[in-house]
Homo-oligomer: A and B are copies of this chain.
Amino acid sequence: VAATIRDVADACGVHISTVSRTFSAPRLVNPSTRTRVLEAARGLGYRPNRVARALTTGRTFNLGLIVADIANPYFPPLIKAAEAQARQRSYHVFVTDTDEDPVVEEDLVHALAKQVDGVVLGSPRVRNRVVEELHRQLPLVVVNRRAEGVPAVLMDVGRGAGAAVEHLAAYGHRHVALLGGPSGSWNNRNVCRGAGEAAEATGVALHVLEPNAPTEEGGAAAALDVLESGATAALAYNDLVALGLMDELGRLGVRVPDDLSIVGIDDIAVSRLTRPRLTTVAMPTAAAGRMAVDMLLQLVDAGPEPTTPRATLDTSLVVRESTAPPPRRRPEPTPGSPSRRDGERAAHTHR
């Protein structure tokens, strides 16, 4: 039902190549015929078919952006910055979510392959081997991952995690629990490394706990483990985990920061709105999104550089209210505090 280039050509008695030029290289066509074509096109509601165009030119003017979990507030600033940057260069960004599943992630790159001019892989969950392999098949920039020969935007979370541990040590904490994240995540390895080194340097005992899901639920689920570990402070893989933990501790009658200190990582928007406000390691996600798009576009326009670009952005510790000196006695749950997360929900709904 949509008008094609031929309809427009017929409508104003020119060859299709003239119509084509009017849209892709207007300067090559006589101004008067150009306006005639444009008018006919408008009358018919014609728009060049981007799929057909892509088939001949090999260019789509789309970029793909793949993230592990779009519901994690960590990603939106990165996404929006990437989109803004791309839009400025007349590219569109297609965002997709892998649900933290490496298989889905790999599948998505392949699915996007010919439909975009390049892909930004945000915090990949696939293994390095796969990243390198994918990079051979299409322009690829990776965020928070080091892979051989693959352009990358890195955020120095190791330092940030280290600063967090030092901050806790300075308060006098001697036992810190570390709530790990996805094992496929470069980010997580760096958190562990950075925290570990700082712990060693400051003589703090680091209790590394099994990773749960990197979500509020994961954080809530870890509450008892944290208490049992005997730690007086916890460093969480991300703010969501920290917030979930903090909330669950509240239910258990453990006060933050009086009984237990908590540090998150990411500095998502809401961390500033909770009570207590969350102490956290701020990640420069917007800058990372912008930069990833810049690198990708350079890759697309100019081909692979002789030297693979790699940018590392600084993180910084933001001290708010969820950290304090350790209590005299180790924290314990107050028996009798119910732990139902949605108790308030069932009772009051209209109709």
Q: In the assembly, what is the distance between CA of A319 and CA of B347, in Å?
A: 9
Q: Is A344 an interface residue (CB 8 A)?
A: yes
Contact of A97 among B83, B270, B273 (CB under 8 A): B83
**A318 close to B349 (CB less than 8 A):** yes
CB of A204 to closest CB in B, whole Å: 16
Number of copies: 2
Given contacts A344-B277, A349-B318, A113 and B47 within 8 Å (CB-CB): yes
Q: In the assembly, what is the distance between CA of A246 and CA of B270, in Å?
A: 12
Contact of A274 among B62, B108, B274, B349 (CB under 8 A): B274
Q: In the assembly, what is the distance between CA of A95 and CA of B66, in Å?
A: 10
Of all chain B residues, the one with the shortest Cβ separation from A61 is: B111
B residues near A131, Cβ cutoff 8 Å: none
CB of A72 to closest CB in B, whole Å: 8
Q: Is A259 an interface residue (CB 8 A)?
A: no
B residues near A112, Cβ cutoff 8 Å: 92
Band of interface residues on A: 35 or more
Q: Which of A244, A349, A350 has the most CB of B within 10 A?
A: A350
**B113 close to A115 (CB less than 8 A):** no
Interface residue ranges of A223-245 to B (CB < 8 Å): 243-244
Q: Is A330 an interface residue (CB 8 A)?
A: no
B residues near A166, Cβ cutoff 8 Å: 350
**B99 close to A269 (CB less than 8 A):** no
B residues near A350, Cβ cutoff 8 Å: 159-160, 163, 166, 316-317
**A275 close to B275 (CB less than 8 A):** yes
**B47 close to A115 (CB less than 8 A):** no
Q: Is A93 an interface residue (CB 8 A)?
A: yes
Q: In the assembly, what is the distance between CA of A270 and CA of B80, in Å?
A: 20
CB of A118 to closest CB in B, whole Å: 14
B residues near A347, Cβ cutoff 8 Å: 319
Of all chain B residues, the one with the shortest Cβ separation from A319 is: B348
Given contacts A275-B275, A350-B317, A50 and B114 within 8 Å (CB-CB): yes
Q: Is A314 an interface residue (CB 8 A)?
A: yes
Q: Is A55 an interface residue (CB 8 A)?
A: yes
Q: Is A127 an interface residue (CB 8 A)?
A: no
CB of A65 to closest CB in B, whole Å: 9
Q: Beta-carbon contacts of A310-351 to B below 8 Å, as 1s and 0s?
A: 000010111110000000000000000000010011011111
Interface residue ranges of A53-105 to B (CB < 8 Å): 54-55, 60, 62, 70-71, 73, 76-77, 79-80, 83-84, 87, 92-97, 99, 104
Q: Which 9 A-B residue pairs are closest in the complex by CB-CB distance?
A: A71-B76, A275-B275, A316-B349, A94-B94, A163-B350, A319-B348, A95-B95, A270-B270, A51-B114
Contacts A92-B108, A92-B111 given; 18 further ones with Cβ under 8 A?
A: A47-B110, A47-B113, A50-B115, A51-B51, A62-B115, A70-B79, A71-B77, A83-B96, A92-B96, A95-B96, A159-B351, A163-B350, A166-B350, A216-B273, A243-B273, A277-B344, A317-B350, A318-B348
Question: Mind listing 29 A-B residue pairs with CB under 8 Å?
Answer: A45-B137, A49-B114, A50-B111, A50-B113, A51-B55, A52-B55, A52-B114, A70-B76, A70-B80, A70-B95, A71-B73, A71-B77, A87-B104, A92-B111, A95-B95, A115-B115, A163-B350, A166-B350, A244-B273, A246-B273, A270-B270, A273-B274, A274-B275, A277-B344, A282-B349, A317-B348, A319-B347, A319-B348, A320-B344
